[in-house]
């Protein structure tokens, strides 16, 4: 799909998309071109459409209702819905006409939505017709915004990174292995301009990444510890990122009794960080970023780590294993320690599909945020609110710290109680942050993978990719 600005709609033939904000019912009928549409037929209400075919001018007009004050997410979803559900209307040429009051955020959201709507889950489906060839579709944007080309390019890059993230989460676990993610990172680094170092099993053993290695020791798929660096000459901030990369989670010997079919999504945090690294480099943001993505498969065989094991960690601290299904925090512990000790970033943020407790608290509407740094928390919340990737704080009080006390080791990996699961998991991670004063943990268990109108089964959302970029742009 090619999207580009246009200065005039004269002599255009094909599909014309005109988005409308909702109008007052007491207002006049909508008028454009030679048409007048009664307010009883179309008012621009949210999720409404009206289609007119003009055979004289060889144009089809699609009026898109957005509501009175649509959010960034509303606009993005409305345009995504068009290419997702009405692809037959998109032939070779399409024109989108924006009103003067539709600003740069509107244009960015619209462009991203149009591209995201081309994504399909049928990666392995065979059919005679095959998927639509979107490369033949040219979309022109008529807008009064200054330099619309820059905004369009940014919207395209955001959508491209999010679609890459979709692929990483949605493809099956026999495809998305730790090695696949390591190779993906290496290729992306070469293409977009960031450095990548991968520690395989032998190198990880030399680095004493013991907690990371313990989780993967039951799988024949070798763990991969991915380290990425993006540097900008004009950067004034250094951000550290960590993403949980459990490519499939059986639960280990504490095997999951339900929902295992969806556990290919347990690398949603890794996918978010990988997608964000692509986008950070693609947009050439003025920030230095160091990122760690520990990738393992939590499988079961005679080598699997055991409940009641005591294992080491990169930090030197010992961990009592209460539950092998609390594995994500183990690889994050080594990821956080490695990042902070070796790269010393100003701010550290980790993303992980970590606990069902976060879903129990917030459902699928927002992610759970944990941080003792109020400025960082507020910046994350504000950034997420602007683009519809919401997150909200849960307490990090030290009273919860004692829940993770172990009598045999420095800490245990699970408190074994049916409450405060997301909070105690965050307190476990905090133990490995070297008392970093600007650290945030984001539990995306409910937001990285779920149901929506765009597929019949659960699928990736790319939550966190745009959130990070929005945050970094405002630092």
d(CA 186, CA 180): 10
* Helix (H) / strand (E) containing 360: helix 356-362
Contact 353, 463 (CB under 8 A): no
Q: Which of 76, 221, 329, 427 is catalytic?
A: 329
d(CA 434, CA 341): 8
Q: Which of 256, 372, 390, 458 is catalytic?
A: 256
Query: Could you tell me the CA-to-CA distances from 422 to 256, 269, 315, 357, 358 in Å, in that order?
Result: 18, 15, 22, 5, 6
Per-residue pLDDT, 413? 98
Catalytic (active site) residue 80? no
Tell me the pLDDT of the chain (475 aa) as tens digits: 999 999 988 889 999 999 999 987 766 667 777 777 888 888 899 999 999 998 888 899 999 999 999 999 999 999 999 999 999 999 989 999 999 999 999 999 999 999 999 999 999 998 777 789 999 999 999 999 999 999 999 999 999 999 999 999 999 999 999 999 999 999 999 999 999 999 999 999 999 999 999 999 999 999 999 999 999 999 999 999 999 999 999 999 999 999 999 999 999 999 999 999 999 999 999 999 999 999 999 999 999 999 999 999 999 999 999 999 999 999 999 999 999 999 999 999 999 999 999 999 999 999 999 999 999 999 999 999 999 999 999 999 999 999 999 999 999 999 999 999 999 999 999 999 999 999 999 999 999 999 999 999 999 999 999 999 999 998 8
d(CA 164, CA 178): 16
Question: Which DSSP category does 136 fall into?
Answer: G
> Which of 468, 448, 466 minimizes the C-alpha distance to 458?
448
Packed helices 465-473 and 268-283: angle between N→C axes, nearest 10 degrees: 40
| Locus of tokens 């960034």 | 72
- State in Å, rounded, how far the first CA of the chain is from the last one: 32
d(CA 457, CA 98): 34
Catalytic (active site) residue 329? yes
d(CA 80, CA 455): 12
Q: How far is CA 83 from the centre of its chain?
A: 20
> Which of 338, 316, 352 minimizes the C-alpha distance to 240?
338
Rg (CA), the chain: 24
Which two structure tokens, joined as six digits, stand for 176?
A: 């998305």
């Amino acid at each position: 799909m090619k999207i580009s600005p246009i200065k005039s709609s004269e002599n255009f033939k094909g599909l014309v998309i005109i988005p409308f904000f909702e109008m007052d019912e007491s207002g006049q009928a909508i008028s454009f071109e030679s048409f007048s549409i009664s307010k009883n037929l179309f008012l621009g209400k949210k999720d409404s459409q009206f289609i007119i075919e003009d055979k004289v001018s060889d144009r089809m007009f699609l009026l898109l209702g957005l509501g009175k004050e649509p959010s960034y997410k509303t606009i993005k979803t409305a345009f995504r819905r068009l290419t997702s559900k009405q692809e037959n209307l998109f032939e070779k040429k399409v024109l989108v006409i924006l009103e003067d009051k539709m600003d740069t955020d509107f244009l960015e959201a619209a462009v991203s939505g149009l591209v995201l709507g081309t994504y399909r889950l049928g990666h392995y489906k065979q059919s005679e017709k095959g998927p639509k060839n979107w490369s033949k579709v040219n979309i022109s944007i008529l807008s009064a915004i200054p330099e619309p080309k820059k905004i369009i390019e940014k919207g395209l890059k955001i959508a491209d990174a999010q679609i890459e993230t979709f692929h990483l989460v949605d493809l099956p676990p026999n495809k998305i292995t730790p090695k696949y993610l390591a190779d993906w990172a290496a290729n992306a680094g070469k293409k977009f301009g960031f450095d990548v170092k991968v520690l395989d099993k032998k190198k990880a053993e030399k680095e004493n990444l013991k907690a990371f290695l313990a989780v993967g020791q039951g799988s024949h798929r070798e763990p991969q510890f991915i380290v990425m660096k993006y540097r900008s000459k004009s950067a004034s901030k250094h951000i550290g990122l960590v993403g949980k990369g459990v490519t499939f989670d059986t639960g280990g010997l504490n095997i999951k009794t339900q929902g295992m079919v969806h556990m290919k999504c347990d690398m949603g945090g890794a996918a978010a960080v990988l997608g964000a690294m692509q986008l950070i480099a693609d947009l050439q943001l003025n920030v230095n970023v160091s990122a760690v993505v520990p990738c393992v498969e939590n499988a079961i065989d005679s080598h699997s780590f055991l409940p009641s094991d005591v294992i080491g960690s990169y930090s030197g601290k010992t961990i009592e294993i209460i539950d092998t299904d609390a594995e994500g925090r183990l690889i994050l512990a080594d990821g956080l320690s490695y990042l902070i000790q070796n790269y010393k970033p100003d701010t550290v943020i980790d993303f992980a599909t970590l606990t069902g407790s976060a879903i129990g608290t917030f459902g699928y509407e927002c992610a759970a945020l944990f941080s003792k740094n109020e400025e960082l928390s507020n910046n994350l919340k504000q950034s997420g609110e602007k683009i519809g990737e919401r997150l909200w704080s849960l307490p990090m009080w030290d009273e919860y710290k004692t829940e993770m006390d172990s009598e045999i080791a420095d800490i245990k990996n699970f408190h074994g109680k049916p409450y405060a699961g997301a909070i105690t998991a965050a307190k476990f991670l905090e133990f490995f942050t070297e008392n970093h004063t600007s650290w945030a943990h984001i539990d995306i268990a409910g937001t990285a993978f779920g149901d929506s109108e765009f597929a019949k089964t659960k699928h990736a959302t790319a939550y966190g990719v745009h959130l990070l970029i929005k945050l970094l742009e405002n630092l």
